[in-house]
Structure 1
Amino acid sequence: MQITIKVLKGQDCTLNVLPSSTILDVKKQIESALKIQASNQKLLLLGRPLNNEATVASYPNIKNGTKLNLVVMKPALRDCIHRAFRKYYTEQQSELLTNHFIADFEKRTKELSLDDLERLADNITSA
């Protein structure tokens, strides 16, 4: 099936994907086509992020001709962490550790309340 990837403030590209392809496989195709690292991509369908481990078929709204939005995330934090891990680990280990670190960081950040975030911001500015 063909899907279209719409890059915010960028170009579109059309990909041929199989229903059994994972979202990560789709991101790797995008990386080849648009030269945007898969780790810096967030694919959205109807405003909701797609899970890397899920297959295309697991999203019933993805059909032939579907348009997915691609948000390109700033690599700054991820790249800094990855560079630090590469000093002590192999490339493969560094990539795995970085992915786990970012996933844990995002999970813990989402658990914070607005009051928690405000306290953190106050502590940083007063330090």
Structure 2
Amino acid sequence: MLITIKVLKGKDCTVEVSPTSTIQEVKEQIDAALQIPATNQKLLLLGRPLSNDQTIASYPNIKEGTKLNLVVMKPGLRDCIYRAFRKYYSEAQSEKLANEFMTDFEAKLKEQSLDDLERFADNSL
């Protein structure tokens, strides 16, 4: 069956789903169609979020022609770092570098006192 994905402040798309398709699979189809990473997607039906591990059949209100709303969440720091590395390195290398960067970043952040963080914030504003 065909369902429409309505992106808030963006394009719409139509995807083909079956009753056994999971919400995660639908998100992957949206990723392929609109280039919005599945991890940054939140699908809503009648204002309620849909669970990735549930199937289309588990939501009786989803029928042929149903419109689902898609909220695009901002990517986190790790995703931004990964995308930057991805421009120059392979997927595996980018994944490894992004993980190492975040591990190092979190370790350095833990070394800082609240006073250090407050001074940093004051100087940045």
Letter paired with 1:59: Y
Q: C-alpha root-mean-square deviation of aligned residues, in Å? A: 2.5
- Matching residue of 2:43: 43
The count of corresponding residues between Structure 1 and Structure 2 is 93
The residue correspondences of 1:86-125 to structure 2 (distance < 5 A) are 86-87=96-97
The residue correspondences of 1:56-71 to structure 2 (distance < 5 A) are 56-71=56-71
> What TM-score, normalized by structure 1, do the two folds share?
0.64
Letter paired with 1:86: K
Q: 1:17 to 1:80 in 2, by over 3 A?
A: same
Structure 2 unaligned spans of 5+:
86-94, 100-113, 119-125
- Matching residue of 1:28: 28
* % identical equivalent positions: 66
Letter paired with 1:21: S
Matches of 1:56 and 1:77 in 2, distance apart? 32
Matches of 1:33 and 1:80 in 2, distance apart? 21
Letter paired with 1:14: T
Q: Which has the larger radius of gyration?
A: 2
Cα deviation, 1:36-86, whole Å, max 9, x if unaligned, reads: 000100000000100000000000000001000000000024526978x73
- Matching residue of 2:54: 54
